[in-house]
């Protein structure tokens, strides 16, 4: 999972100029997308109440909050946050033991 952005960047390196690549880097686009609490918990394979509890007891870092609002509003979770949740709770997608790897054509 962690190598995908570097693989995509290498594949696009020869197709576009440096300025375009810098502006449209995969990592930047992925990090701009934020998911709400319920959506992030669903993507991580846990309940939103477990997400709140894990933030309170220190298993997960405290949430980030928006700075452009008067009220204290969570800014959401990036895919990196969600992947970290999957690692903490052991819900990351995995190949079943003894099975062959899936081959996917794109």
Domain with CATH 1.10.1660.10 in the chain: 34-91
Instruction: Of 64, 1, 56, give the one whose Cα is nearest residue 34.
Output: 64
Q: Tell me: the pLDDT tens digits for 64-103?
A: 888 888 888 888 898 889 999 999 999 988 888 888 888 8
Q: Tell me: the pLDDT tens digits for 47-75?
A: 999 999 999 999 999 888 888 888 888 88
Question: Is the model's pLDDT at 21 over the cut of 60?
Answer: no
Question: Is the model's pLDDT at 30 over the cut of 60?
Answer: no
For 45-59, letters b (16+ CB in 10 Å) and e give ebeeebbeebeeeee
Question: Is the model's pLDDT at 43 over the cut of 90?
Answer: yes
Pick the CATH number of 34-91 from 1.20.120.80, 1.10.1660.10, 3.10.129.10, 2.60.40.1120: 1.10.1660.10
Give whole-number Cα distances, 59 to 54, 55, 56, 85, in Å.
5, 6, 8, 9
């Amino acid at each position: 999972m962690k190598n995908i952005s570097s693989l995509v960047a290498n594949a696009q390196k020869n197709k576009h100029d440096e300025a375009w690549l810098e502006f449209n880097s995969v990592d930047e686009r992925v990090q701009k997308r934020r998911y709400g609490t319920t959506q992030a918990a669903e993507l991580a394979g846990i309940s939103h109440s477990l997400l709140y509890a894990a933030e309170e007891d220190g298993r997960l870092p405290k949430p980030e909050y928006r700075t452009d609002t008067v009220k204290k509003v969570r800014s959401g979770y990036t895919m990196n946050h969600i992947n970290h949740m999957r690692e903490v709770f052991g819900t990351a997608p995995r190949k079943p033991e003894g099975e062959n790897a899936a081959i996917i054509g794109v």
